[in-house]
């Protein structure tokens, strides 16, 4: 009789534990993060539409280069020059990292991460591209939907940003 009583208590305890686990699992509000995380601030998604005709694509303010949005597929053929918003967006969509500056170019980051600018490497989305942007104010590193405002060309966060986001272009579709 004692064995039957012990077995009933064990069964009841097991059943209560199972109910408790189901209740707690149902209340778990955690979600698996689908977006990549890394250095810099995530920017709003303005799409990745490539336009071929119609009105000009919108121009961004000098101090806020775009990180996503509709653009013409204009590839970057040289860096350390002023790039259009279309060129910046196409470079980012491919997976490149663009560092916009006004003053001293952050050459060390480019040399450490991807080497000197090469149009073929940029076409493959594997380049750190230096973009002269007069009036930008603070130096900014850009990736698709990511922005990092740096303290200057020697900011160690620049290399961390470039290494994290290089090759991470716009999603397909």
pLDDT of residue 31: 40
pLDDT of residue 103: 87
Number of domains comprising the chain = 1
96 with 166: CB under 8 angstroms?
A: yes
Asked whether residue 144 is domain-assigned, the answer is yes
Asked whether residue 49 is domain-assigned, the answer is yes
pLDDT of residue 88: 97
What residues make up the domain containing 62? Answer: 43-165
Asked whether residue 72 is domain-assigned, the answer is yes
* Other beta carbons within 10 Å of 153: 17
pLDDT of residue 55: 66
In angstroms, the CA 67 to CA 91 distance is 10
Phi, psi of 104 (to 5 degrees): -75, 130
Residue tagged 């199972």 (tokens): 18
pLDDT of residue 35: 52
Asked whether residue 11 is domain-assigned, the answer is no
Alpha-carbon distances of 132 from 35, 109, 150, 152, rounded to whole Å:
30, 15, 15, 14
pLDDT of residue 143: 98
Asked whether residue 14 is domain-assigned, the answer is no
Asked whether residue 8 is domain-assigned, the answer is no
Q: What is the pLDDT along the chain (173 residues), one digit of tens a residue?
A: 676 665 557 655 565 544 445 545 555 444 433 456 889 999 999 999 999 876 667 788 899 999 999 999 999 999 999 999 999 999 999 999 999 999 888 899 999 999 999 999 999 999 999 999 999 999 999 999 999 999 999 999 999 999 999 999 999 75
Per the structure block, which two tokens stand in for 112? 């450490």
């Amino acid at each position: 009789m004692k064995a039957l009583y012990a077995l009933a208590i064990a069964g009841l305890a097991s059943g209560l534990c199972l109910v408790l686990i189901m209740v707690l699992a149902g209340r778990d509000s955690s979600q698996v993060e689908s977006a990549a995380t890394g250095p810099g601030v995530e920017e709003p998604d303005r799409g990745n539409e490539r336009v071929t005709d119609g009105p000009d694509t919108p121009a961004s303010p000098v101090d806020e280069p775009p990180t996503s949005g509709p653009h013409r597929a204009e590839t970057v053929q040289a860096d350390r020059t002023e790039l259009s918003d279309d060129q910046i967006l196409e470079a980012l969509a491919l997976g490149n990292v663009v560092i916009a500056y006004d003053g001293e170019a952050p050459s060390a980051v480019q040399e450490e991460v991807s080497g000197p600018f090469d149009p073929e490497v940029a076409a493959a989305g594997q380049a750190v591209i230096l973009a002269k942007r007069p009036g930008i104010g603070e130096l900014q590193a850009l990736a698709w939907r990511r922005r990092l405002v740096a303290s200057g060309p020697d900011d160690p966060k620049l290399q961390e940003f470039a290494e994290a986001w290089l090759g991470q272009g716009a999603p397909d579709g």
